[in-house]
Amino acid sequence: MLAGLRTVSLLLCALAGPISILAAHAEDAVMTATVDGKPWTASFSQGTTLEMAGKPVLNLSGTQQGSPTMTFNSLLVLKKPDDFAGTYPFKGGFPNTGGNFNVLDSGAMVGHFRFSGGEVVIDKYDPATKTISGHFSAVGKGDDGSHYEIKDGIFSGVQVSPQ
C-alpha cells in the first residue's frame, strides 16, 4: 500500500514539477558584492515597485544582517512600469537613478554614503517568477568625507513586487 502511494506521489511530483519550478522564493535570491575590498552578502534582498512624482520606480535593496548591519539601497527610475531590463547609471538621486549604502551598528548609523557613480544593470526579468537578475557597482563619498567603492556586485532571483 505504501509503495503504491509512493509511486503515485512520485508520478504527481514529476507531472507537477514544471509548475513548482515557476515559484520563486525569497530565500533563493542572491545579492553579493565587494565593499571597500571586503565581501558583502545580503541576508535578504527585494525589489519593490512604486510611483514617485508620476514616474515608475524600482527600489532594489539588499541587507546583510549582523553587527554591523549593511544595506545597499537604490531607486531606479524605469522607462515604464514592468519594463525592468536595462542600465541605470547613478546620477545623484530622484528624479534620476540614485542610491546609498548604510552601515548600522547597535542601531546607530556609523556609515552612510551616497552613490555619485556606478550603475545597476538588470540583465533579465522573468515575468513568470517576477524576479530580476543583473550586476551593479558604485562609488561615493561618506558623510564624513571618506570615499567608498562597491564592485563586482551581482544579484539573481530577486523578487519584484508592488509596494
Q: What does the angle CA 50 – CA 115 – CA 82 come to, to the nearest 5 degrees?
A: 25
Instruction: Specify if 11 maps to a domain.
Output: no
Instruction: Specify if 54 maps to a domain.
Output: yes
Instruction: Specify if 13 maps to a domain.
Output: no
Mean pLDDT of 79-90: 95
Read off the pLDDT of residues 38-59 as tens digits, 9 standing for 90 and up.
999 999 999 999 999 999 999 9
pTM: predicted TM-score of the whole model, two decimal places: 0.81
Instruction: Specify if 89 maps to a domain.
Output: yes
**13: pLDDT confidence band, cut at 50, 70 and 90?**
very low
State which residues form the domain around 35: 24-162
Q: What total number of domains does the chain contain?
A: 1
Read off the pLDDT of residues 17-39 as tens digits, 9 standing for 90 and up.
332 333 345 568 999 999 999 99
Mean pLDDT of 136-142: 95
